[in-house]
Amino acid sequence: MAMMRLRREDPRVVGTFRLHRRLGAGGMGVVYLGSDKRGQRVALKVIRPDLAEDQEFRSRFAREVSAARRIRGGCTARLVAADLDADRPWFATQYVPGPSLHDKVNEGGPLSPAQVAAIGAALSEGLLAVHDAGVVHRDLKPSNILLSPKGPRIIDFGIAWATGASTLTHVGTAVGSPGFLAPEQVRGAAVTPATDIFALGATLAYACTADSPFGQGSSEVMLYRVVHEEAQLAGVPDALAPLLASCLAKDPADRPSTLSLSLRLKEIAAREAHGPSGGPLENGAGAGAAWQHAERRPTDRPTGQRAEEYARQRTERRTAGNSSPRPHPSRPAASHDAGSRPSGPASAAGKNPRRTGGRTVRRVPAARPSGPGGKRAPVRTTSGGRRPGPDRRLLRQRIIVFVVVTLLVALGIAAAQGCQGPTHGLGVERPAPVAPAWGADGPYGVGEQNP
């Protein structure tokens, strides 16, 4: 869900919640991302000022919040808190991370039949909990469905309606979104759970085709089509088209019940995900499992030349993963020092070969003169007969020769200096030094006498 910075006119604190970002704005007010003192994040909607001054709206809003508190179910955003007596009434629901169904289809294109069926099955379970609480959502549409990692969630019960409550909407005024409204909502008739079934059918058709089943146009044109024209389901897959057509029936009595729709969508999701033989999604599996499985299932399998290219690349990747990388021809094979790893009997006999760069490397004793300690250092040879790397024993010999030569040169220099050194102590008398004559002004001064 896209987030925007708070504007100057936006509040910073509402109730016990601190507001951080804007999540969006609708017909009733602005939705913010907030958090409480424990860090729990919520989606908090603040009612518009003009609606807050309408006492009739406040009465309806209070009844809707009371009804929303009764909703229990994993496919809906739970109501956390609300203040009906504030200057601008507000309510906070559980924050659901994830894109809306509208954004996912708008960015990635139509979904696969398995995904659409799995989403529909989960939403049907959510509507079943809503309807059992005596509430009709009345504004089910792609932007009010969030695709969380745990499954779809129904949000925004802002215009939800308690079953049996008298309508406060003026005659001829439709509450909801054109293209996803039921015909009875357009006519101003009483809403029932079948109203949400119609909206769910239009929403799933959008997920299949990336367009409303009643096309595009102005609000008046869309409302006319909803009442007088049949839904266009030409792009809907055959597995879902009959069921969605029944959901979009003009007469509410001709639409399937919420429970029946949930069961049939689960069957379709299992069949599309596993084929006719079914699989782990059948036999009473939940809609959440069907949604997660459909998300993991590939949505577009390549055919023709694309399939051949895909198979060739997959074979190459598998072959490359099973074989070790070969060394570059200009580089010697990796070797270790002979004394870094002792070789056992099996290694000396060649029964425990090791592979380096795709070639077999054996540890064998070298047939050459022994070193300074009288020990023979084993060398590593490859199947190609080449010795990998420089000979370390030869390097040590060169170092020893260099040290010996250096010492001999140093001794020769010391002996030469000793022959030209001082003679005292050898019986040779040295002449006594002559004291200089000092003048009146000291050494090297005026009147100085040279010796």
Query: How confident is the prediction along the chain (451 residues), in pLDDT tens digits per residue?
Result: 568 899 999 999 999 999 999 988 877 789 999 999 999 999 999 998 888 888 888 887 887 788 778 887 768 888 899 998 899 999 998 898 889 999 999 999 999 999 999 999 999 999 998 888 888 888 899 999 999 988 999 987 655 554 444 333 433 344 557 889 999 999 989 899 999 999 999 999 999 999 999 998 898 999 999 999 999 999 999 999 999 999 999 999 999 999 999 999 999 999 988 754 344 333 334 455 455 545 544 444 444 454 456 456 656 655 555 544 444 444 444 444 434 444 444 444 444 444 444 454 455 444 444 445 545 545 454 444 455 455 788 888 889 999 999 999 988 888 877 655 544 444 444 444 444 444 444 444 444 444 3
- Asked if residue 177 lies in contact with residue 145, where contact means CB atoms within 8 angstroms, the answer is no
Predicted structure pTM score? 0.58
Q: Is 147 helix (H, G, I), strand (E, B) or coil?
A: strand
Task: Please report the pLDDT score of residue 133 as a whole number.
Answer: 83
For 17, how many CA atoms within 13 A lie in the half-sphere containing its CB? 27
Query: Please, where in the chain does CATH 1.10.510.10 lie?
Result: 98-296
Terminal CA-to-CA distance of the chain, rounded, Å? 108
Intervals of CATH 3.30.200.20 along the chain: 12-95
Could you give the C-alpha distances from 337 to 316, 360, 393, in angstroms and in order?
Answer: 36, 17, 11
Question: Is 103 one of the catalytic residues?
Answer: no
CA distance 193 to 261: 12
Whole-number pLDDT of residue 266: 94
Whole-number Å distance between alpha carbons of 55 and 59: 6
For 47-70, the DSSP string reads E-HHHHT-HHHHHHHHHHHHHHTT
Contacts of 105 (CB under 8 A, 6+ apart): 111, 142, 206, 207, 210
- 46 to 82, 143, 422: CA distances (angstroms): 10, 18, 107
With 0-12 / 13-18 / 19 or more C-beta atoms within 10 angstroms meaning exposed / middle / buried, residue 99 is middle
Please give the CATH superfamily to which domain 12-95 belongs: Phosphorylase Kinase; domain 1 (3.30.200.20)
Q: Which CATH architecture has domain 98-296?
A: Orthogonal Bundle (1.10)
State whether residue 253 is helix, strand or coil: helix
According to the model, what pLDDT value does residue 64 have?
74
Q: Which of 50, 83, 139, 300 is catalytic?
A: 139
Q: Are 333 and 385 in contact (CB under 8 A)?
A: no
Region of 244 please: left (phi>0), alpha (psi -120 to 50) or beta: alpha
Percent of the chain with pLDDT over 70: 61
Block residue for tokens 């059918």: 201
**Tokens (6 digits) for 18:** 């601190």
**258 close to 193: Cβ distance less than 8 angstroms:** yes
Q: Are 19 and 11 in contact (CB under 8 A)?
A: yes
